[in-house]
Amino acid sequence: MPIEMPDVLVVGLGPAGSRAAAVAAAAGLGVIALERRQTAGTPAQCAEFVPEPIERDVPAARTVTTQTVTRMLTFIEDGPPEVTADFRGLMIDRAAFDRMLAQEAALNGAECRYGETVLSIDRDGTVRTSADGSLRPRVLIGADGPRSRVGWAIGAINRDLVETRQVSAPLVLPHDATDIFLSADFRGGYGWLFPKGAVANVGLGVASAARGLLKPLLAALCSELARQRRIGTRVFALTGGAIPVGGRLRSVGRLGPTAVLLAGDAAGLTNPVTGAGIAAAVQSGTLAGRAAADFVGGAAAALDDYEEELGDIFDAALGRALRRRREVLAHYAVGRRPDARALRDGWIASPHYWAA
């Protein structure tokens, strides 16, 4: 097969890749996007909550919203919930959200290929795929998630991961809050119940070293919620996946003549405390698409500008989250379990979290 030489090759059609492909194609570039799944967004590996400001970046987000959320309830160990009023967001149908963004990329002219996996990337920027394809793009955008192959190729690797497990179960009563469960048992993570109409996403994340505990811990959380008659015992869906929690990676590199940009989880933009990464994926994908267009248009500084923009937007929030996460983990490192106060201080609902 002859080698293809598009202006831009995007790897992954999650929110970051779809947005990057849409923006680069809209700027008139020749864009190919490869997605190993057969359909964007399916199966969804997500708790499906996005804060309301997502509508600034994705104005149609409400068209794929299952319900809105107004508050956050934080349960610490066995204590009563602490209420954070005015914590507004959307529960999205994540599969539909990802599909919508991928359709936008295709409508803008990106050639989106499904069921094609990037298998290897050579040092000269040649990308080889499961369909026996070889591509050598001018710009390679790695939007291929937490275990990014593109990131590996330029030495930008998410080494600190939280592993998750989630079920979708019947929600007994309508609910308007995201519920967060903090416990010393959930080492390096937390539990959640996020409502979507008559169904709840109930899940748990823990530091990858404790991943062996995920199954029994989630089973215990679900039985407790069932005992409280908050959820039913049927399981409609089971999912999970890795979340990068080590902070932002260097997101620009070179492979021979090919410029490389990372976006979304591949760039380590997920919040290390909350695990939220959809909004950051959309934002960084948009910037990566623009940077690719500028670079191909002759602006050599576009790559460094991209790195700098990511720093300006994300470093303060990610840095704070990293510090708070480390403060909680420091308890385990000296053989102690963090108490309720330490757990609270490490969570976004606490004033301490936001202190200097």
Ligand X SMILES: Cc1cc2nc3c(=O)[nH]c(=O)nc-3n(C[C@H](O)[C@H](O)[C@H](O)COP(=O)(O)OP(=O)(O)OC[C@H]3O[C@@H](n4cnc5c(N)ncnc54)[C@H](O)[C@@H]3O)c2cc1C
Return the amino acid letter for 327: E
Q: Which is nearer to ligand X, 50 or 221 (CB)?
A: 50
| Cα-Cα end-to-end distance for the chain | 57
Q: What does the alpha-carbon distance between residue 215 and residue 219 come to, in Å, rounded to a whole number?
A: 6
189 binding ligand X? (CB under 6 A): no
Structure tokens at 110: 């990106």
- Out of 8, 16, 231, 293, the residue judged to bind ligand X by CB under 6 A: 16
Bridge partner list, 129: 118
DSSP state of 55: H
In the complex with ligand X, the residue whose CB is nearer, 150 or 342, is 150
Q: Does position 211 bind ligand X by CB under 6 A?
A: no
* Per CB under 6 A, 265 contacts ligand X: yes
Which residues, 6 or more positions from 159, have their beta carbon under 8 angstroms from its beta carbon?
246
Of 291, 299, 232, which is closest to residue 263 (Cα–Cα)? Answer: 291
C-beta separation of 84 from 347 below 8 A: no
Question: How far is residue 17's CA from residue 10's CA, in Å, rounded to a whole number?
Answer: 6
Residue from the set 9, 10, 13, 102 that interacts with ligand X by CB under 6 A = 13
- Where in 241-260 is the site for ligand X (CB under 6 A)? 241, 243
For tokens 């040092």, the residue is 123
Question: Closest CB to ligand X among 16 and 31?
Answer: 16
104 touching ligand X, by CB under 6 A:
no
Number of residues interacting with ligand X: please give it, by CB under 6 A.
39
**Stretch binding ligand X (CB under 6 A), from 41-49, 72-80, 206-214, 326-334:** 41-49
46 lies in the site for ligand X, by CB under 6 A: yes
Of 140, 141, 278, 302, which one interacts with ligand X (CB under 6 A)? 278
Residue (of 31, 43, 295) closest to 143 by Cα position: 31
Alpha-carbon distance of 170 to 200, in angstroms, equals 6
Region 17-36 residues binding ligand X, contact defined as CB under 6 A:
17, 34-36
- Measured from the CB atom, is 113 or 331 closer to ligand X? 113
Per CB under 6 A, which region of 42-50, 62-70, 167-175, 346-354 contacts ligand X? 42-50
270 binds ligand X (CB under 6 A): yes
Contact region with ligand X (CB under 6 A), list: 72-80, 220-228, 262-270, 341-349: 262-270
Stretch 225-244: interaction string toward ligand X, x if CB under 6 A? --------------xxx-x-
Binding mask 129-168 for ligand X (x = CB under 6 A): --------------xxx---x--------------x-x--
Residues 8-34 as b or e (16 or more Cβ within 10 Å = b): bbbbbbbbbbbbbbbbbbbbebbbbbb
Of the candidates 48, 92, 95, 89, the residue with the CA atom closest to the CA atom of residue 72: 89
272 binds ligand X (CB under 6 A): no
C-alpha to C-alpha distance for 268 and 277, rounded to whole angstroms = 9
> What residues make contact with ligand X under the rule CB under 6 A?
11-17, 34-37, 45-50, 117-118, 143-145, 149, 164, 166, 203, 239-241, 243, 264-266, 270, 275-278, 281
